[in-house]
Amino acid sequence: MSAHDALSALADELDQRLAAADAELVDNYPGDRGTRQPVHTVYVPGDKYDADTIATWGAGARDVLSQHGRSVMELAEALELRPSSAVEVYDRVRAKLEREPIEDLRIDFEDGYGNRPDDREDAAVIAAARAPASSVKAGNASPYHGIRIKSFEAPTRRRGLRTLGLFVGELADADAVTDGFVITLPKVTSVDQVEAMVTALETIERAHGIATGTLLFEIQIETPQSILGPDGSALVAKMIHAGGRRVTGLHYGTYDYSASLGVAAAYQSMEHPAADHAKDVMQVAAAGTGVFISDGSTNILPVGDRDAVPLGPAPARPVGTTLAVARHLLGLGPAPGPAAEPVRGDVRLLPRGPAHGRGPPPRLRARRRLWLSRRAGDRCRARRVRAPRS
């Protein structure tokens, strides 16, 4: 047998030997889902949401822009935009706030709602579900929307499951379960809870005649147990694969995760090193799976007087700087809304910059150039000390 024939035979043998591994790789890492990632998720308490919420928030956001971004240059200065792109960005912002002020809405029956008697929560869930159902029928629902239930930890499991069943049931009865409907499962501490969520969704789909695989969910990473298991493994990776195609995203829970590590309240933020570590693990775990990553939550919005409003986006800026030099450019933050309605906005990691692909602001570009120059210097020094070839 010639060398060529031997290699050909070996290739055939390896194809057979690795066929299962090849199929497993494609199944576990299917790549991008081909859908857009919302730039934010707005959380509204379950008893505060109604069919007018999105329109009200849109009007509030436009008022903020009118009062504090009255001109192109004023907005450009606040967002550190290049003058060459300021006019287009300004026009796009105004158009966006008219057309789609909230991209992703989560009606919150967890921390944002609290613990209340079952009959009161039941009534609030049914009322809250009927509002998005009517919005879907009217064609003015946010493109992505859903509910956050209570966790599957023992004390809240039954209440979370009941809320989920009631909410989905109302939507199903109104034929209002859309492709943009997503459920958030908070405070996940084990792979078993993810598997239990899959079982719950399968049961609810059967009960309401919903097509199998329609109900999707996001995993909220709010506990150290979800990042590092007792055996030292990254449980978040196992959680993604345990949920299969139903898992669409990972949300980093800034405050609960930090508190679980003993970080003092004054230092709980998306820019804390503990947050960087958690999101690094999340990013590696989700790579190639098609699962979106959220950068974390903030309860600070650009509302108030002229002195207060410029501070609204500030918490996102240091994080954006950190991520830009190491991994990503930060996308847009939560949509501004009425000061009387504080919410949590999960700022998503996006592959493009604050001006939707038009590059980072000057301050960020300078920091990135400095970082790149230092890396280049490190490589040069490494080449100088490398041993000569023998």
Domains and CATH numbers, the chain: 31-384 (3.20.20.60)
CA-CA distance, 228 to 191, in Å (whole number)?
Answer: 12
317 pLDDT tier (thresholds 50, 70, 90): very low
Q: Report residue 28's pLDDT band, with 50, 70 and 90 as the boundaries.
A: very high
Instruction: Provide the 8-state DSSP code for 39.
Output: S
Beta-strand ranges (E) seen in the chain are 40-45, 104-108, 144-148, 181-185, 216-221, 247-252, 292-298, 329-330, 344-350
CA distance 325 to 369: 9
Rounded to 5°, angle at Cα 21 from 18 and 26: 125
| Residue 127 burial (CB count, 10 A) | 14
Q: What is the mean pLDDT of residues 162-183?
A: 96
Which of the four pLDDT bands, split at 50, 70 and 90, describes residue 217? Answer: very high
Contact 311, 300 (CB under 8 A): yes
Q: Tell whether the torsion through CA atoms of 69, 72, 73 and 76 is positive or negative.
A: positive
Check residue 22 and give its pLDDT.
Answer: 96
Given a cut of 70, whether residue 145 has pLDDT beyond it is yes
> What are 81-120's pLDDT values in tens digits?
887 788 888 888 889 999 999 999 999 999 999 999 999 9
What distance in Å separates the CA atoms of residue 274 and residue 383, rounded to the nearest whole number?
33
CB count within 10 Å of CB 242 equals: 20
Residue indicated by tokens 């494609």: 26
How confident is residue 193, by pLDDT bands cut at 50, 70 and 90? Answer: very high
Longest dimension (CA), the chain: 84
Least confident residue range of 24-33, 71-80, 224-233, 260-269: 71-80
Please compute the mean of the pLDDT values over residues 287-313 and round it to a whole number: 75
In eight-state DSSP terms, residue 389 is: P
User: Among positive and negative, which fits the CA dihedral 255, 261, 264, 268?
Assistant: negative
CA 194 – CA 214 distance, rounded (Å): 16
